[in-house]
Chains A and B, each alone.
Chain A
């Protein structure tokens, strides 16, 4: 049963600490998305990659957030330094296809709490 795997599921950290969230996309999928979900803003697209290359990271605060794909089986989202307003659920999704014919499969999310 192919699925997107995210770790950790929950993370509580102190303000100013570095946070790294990891995602293993479904094998063979060539597109990876990072979303942030909050009650106030809903589901925001932070960044997405195609064939490991970043296509758009305009939704991401560049001064503290970074997203990478070191290889085809791993995507990472880092926050340094973290702030309380970063508290949210972060979802990774992967997909295949091209253009409008891309369907996203979601992981279960990482719930981040910054205190």
Chain B
């Protein structure tokens, strides 16, 4: 069946560092891909998405490119801030079914 695998955390970085969180997927057909973010005590919020191969999703300085050849959707940000500390989830949607990866906890030191 469909699945999403993302790098295990926690990831700890200093403010202004470069961020990469790896995500790969397995799916039949042509899924849409998402990154969601979860702040403490809250539900998940959509961060960005891409609906077809080579699409780049971007929001709040975060980017991810849909790579069909490597079945990947890695999340990147050039300069992280303390306010980016949260748990990040990679997800795919196929036939209206949304499946999430295990989540990566990110902590940013001032």
| Chain A interface residues (CB < 8 Å from chain B) | 4, 31, 33, 35, 42-43, 45, 48, 50, 55-56, 91, 93, 95, 97-109
Given contacts A98-B96, A100-B93, A100-B95, contact A107 B43 (CB under 8 A): yes
Please classify the interface of chain A as helix (H, G, I), strand (E, B), loop, or mixed, using the class held by over half of its residues: strand
Given contacts A31-B96, A56-B97, contact A101 B46 (CB under 8 A): no
Complex Cα gap A107–B43 (Å):
6
Q: Check: B110 CB closer than 8 A to any chain A CB.
A: no
Interface residues of B in 73-110 (CB under 8 A from A): 89, 93-103
Chain B: interface size category: 20 to 34
User: In the assembled complex, how far is the CB of residue A108 from the closest CB belonging to chain B, in whole angstroms?
Assistant: 5
B50-76 toward A: CB 8 Å interface, digit per residue (1/0)?
A: 010000000000000000000000000
Q: Across the two chains, which residue of chain B brings its CB closest to A98?
A: B96
B3-25 toward A: CB 8 Å interface, digit per residue (1/0)?
A: 00000000000000000000000
Chain A residue numbers with a CB within 8 Å of B30 are 100
Given contacts A42-B103, A43-B103, contact A102 B45 (CB under 8 A): no
Tell whether, in the assembled complex, residue B97 and residue A91 are in contact, meaning their CB atoms are under 8 Å apart. Answer: no
- Number of inter-chain CB pairs below 8 Å: 70
Chain B residue numbers with a CB within 8 Å of A109 are 42-43
Chain A residue numbers with a CB within 8 Å of B101 are 42
Tell whether, in the assembled complex, residue A45 and residue B32 are in contact, meaning their CB atoms are under 8 Å apart. Answer: no
A-B contact pairs, 23 of them (CB 8 A): A42-B100, A42-B102, A43-B103, A45-B97, A45-B99, A55-B97, A56-B97, A95-B96, A99-B96, A100-B30, A100-B31, A100-B32, A100-B95, A100-B96, A101-B32, A101-B51, A102-B32, A102-B96, A102-B98, A103-B46, A104-B98, A105-B46, A106-B36
Chain A residue numbers with a CB within 8 Å of B41 are 108
Given contacts A43-B89, A45-B98, A98-B96, contact A108 B42 (CB under 8 A): yes
